């Protein structure tokens, strides 16, 4: 596979040079081989291939046309078809025309949609088949009218199959690319959602306790000389709130560091911690009244935590 790619990629990068080399090689082969084969046959059996000037001219013209087959496939198909008609009518058989029109048909069918390829193959095969029938009495070669039609349609079918495979591979690559882009977009969206969730969680964890610390430290500062006992109690609440916020931060960080598995995690706070929350608010001098139903309905973990955060935010 690697060797195949190393050979094919340079040809794909230089299509014009590749077509020129291909046309030159075919033209040279159809001039040199008949000359050598004819000389050998004459030496052995006394009869050789009659390579005429029109044969050489048709071969050269077809070879030149094939150098542009990828850039102008329809024009090359028309030119080689005309060369084939001239070859049939003139009875010139040792030339490149028949092979050139077949290759041009292949290149055209490879470059256009299937419908246009079939239409071009139909017109070309009808024209060449009709001409071959009309000049059947003059025909003296290996190509008969069945061969003309057969090779044209074989080339067309092969080109359509290759084009279909290329289209399928392109569709698969496009689908894979879109799937990759979709996965990346999903990952980015999840990262953004996680950032929002983490920011909200950190706000919920820190805001309440920082407010308590701020109020209680202010109370302690105010009472430190007049009422040392009350100031000491306020500082105790500051320490308790600081410990609580550190504990909850540790829990959040533990969730974020699950892969490291270095920090223990605690369950998210719920309404079971409502009494402590109310007591903390009351110590700041906030009058709080709690009204709960005799039997609290069961809540999911997410709903229980959300209710706790709502009360915490309200306080």
Structure-derived torsion over alpha carbons of residues 110, 111, 112, 114, reported in degrees to the nearest 10: 10
Distance CA 35, CA 13 (A): 35
Q: What's the sign of the alpha-carbon dihedral 33, 35, 37, 40?
A: negative
Q: What is the pTM (predicted TM-score) of this model?
A: 0.54
Distance CA 110, CA 156 (A): 8
pLDDT tens-digit profile of 184-202? 898 899 888 888 877 777 7
Question: Average pLDDT per run of 10 along the chain, which is 315 residues long?
Answer: 45 59 66 54 50 82 84 91 88 80 92 92 90 67 62 92 91 90 90 82 74 77 78 78 77 64 57 72 72 75 74 71
pLDDT tens-digit profile of 280-312? 677 666 777 777 777 777 777 777 777 777 777
What pLDDT does residue 121 have?
A: 93
């Amino acid at each position: 596979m690697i060797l195949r790619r190393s050979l094919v990629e340079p040809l794909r990068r230089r299509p014009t040079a590749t077509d020129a080399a291909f046309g030159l090689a075919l033209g040279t082969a159809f001039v040199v081989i008949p000359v050598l084969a004819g000389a050998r046959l004459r030496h052995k059996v006394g009869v050789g291939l009659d390579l005429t000037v029109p044969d050489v001219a048709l071969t050269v013209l077809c070879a030149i046309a094939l150098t542009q087959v990828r850039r102008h496939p329809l024009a090359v198909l028309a030119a080689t078809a005309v060369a084939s008609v001239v070859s049939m009518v003139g009875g010139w058989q040792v030339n490149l025309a028949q092979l050139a029109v077949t290759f041009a048909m292949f290149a055209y069918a490879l470059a256009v949609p299937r419908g246009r390829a079939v239409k071009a193959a139909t017109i070309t095969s009808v024209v060449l088949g009709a001409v071959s029938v009309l000049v059947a009495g003059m025909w003296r070669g290996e190509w008969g009218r069945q061969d003309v039609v057969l090779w044209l349609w074989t080339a067309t079918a092969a080109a359509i199959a290759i084009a279909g495979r290329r289209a399928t591979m392109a569709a698969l690559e496009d689908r894979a690319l879109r799937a990759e882009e979709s996965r990346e977009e999903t990952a980015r969206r999840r990262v953004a959602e996680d950032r929002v969730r983490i920011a909200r969680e950190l706000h919920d964890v820190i805001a309440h306790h920082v407010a308590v610390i701020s109020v209680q430290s202010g109370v302690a500062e105010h009472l430190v000389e007049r009422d040392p006992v009350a100031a000491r109690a306020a500082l105790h609440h500051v320490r308790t709130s600081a410990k609580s916020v550190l504990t909850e931060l540790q829990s959040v960080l533990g969730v974020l560091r699950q892969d490291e598995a270095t920090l223990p995690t605690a369950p998210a706070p719920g309404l079971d911690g409502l009494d402590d929350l109310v007591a903390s608010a009351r110590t700041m001098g906030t009058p709080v009244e709690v009204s709960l139903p005799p039997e609290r309905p069961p809540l999911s973990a997410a709903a229980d935590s959300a209710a706790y955060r709502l009360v915490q935010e309200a306080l």
